């Protein structure tokens, strides 16, 4: 989930080259309902989404507080480096992996592989 089509296209290429299917969408007020309905194997989320620029953060908190979605692996892919560092404890405690923008494709691939391989990512949060 990202509000930049170019980033969504890049994610699609990377994930498809890894053998995965991808459903992409930009910010919408019904994102939690969409996540609950689709129940994806993994979410790659930019924190800085929507008109207030923190809609991604709000969505991430809702995902982790909703029983139907709380166990879905999440990778935050964001350029908000200082903000992400300030939230490092919360992200780690809530099993959220982080890939900082700009990123190397190999870093994202590594995060995806680990997120999909680990049933419990609580001890796997890693900042790239």
Q: Which tens digits make up the pLDDT trace of 103-121?
A: 999 999 999 999 998 554 4
Delimit the domains of the chain by residue range. 5-117
Give just the sign of the alpha carbon dihedral 116, 118, 123, 126: negative
Each residue of 31-57: b (16+ CB within 10 Å) or e?
A: bbeebbeeebebbbbbbbbbeeeebbb
Rg of the chain's alpha carbons, rounded to an integer? 13
Q: Which tens digits make up the pLDDT trace of 14-35?
A: 999 999 998 877 766 567 888 8
Residue of 78, 117, 113, 82 lying closest to 98 (CA atoms):
78
More confident residue, 32 or 76: 76
What pTM was estimated for this model as a whole?
Answer: 0.84
**Overall fold of domain 5-117:** Rossmann fold (3.40.50)
Q: What is the mean pLDDT of the chain?
A: 85
DSSP per-residue codes, 69-82: TTTS-EEEEES-HH
């Amino acid at each position: 989930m990202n509000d930049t089509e170019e980033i969504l296209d890049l994610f699609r290429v990377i994930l498809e080259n890894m053998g995965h299917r991808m459903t992409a969408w930009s910010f919408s007020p019904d994102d939690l309902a969409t996540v609950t309905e689709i129940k994806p194997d993994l979410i790659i989320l930019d924190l800085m989404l929507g008109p207030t620029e923190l809609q991604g953060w709000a969505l991430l908190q809702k995902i982790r507080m909703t029983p139907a979605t709380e166990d879905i692996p999440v990778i935050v892919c964001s350029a908000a480096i200082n903000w992400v560092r300030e939230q490092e404890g919360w992200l780690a405690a809530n099993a959220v992996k982080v890939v900082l923008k700009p990123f190397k494709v190999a870093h994202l691939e590594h995060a995806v592989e680990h997120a999909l391989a680990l049933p419990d990512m609580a001890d796997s949060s890693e900042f790239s």
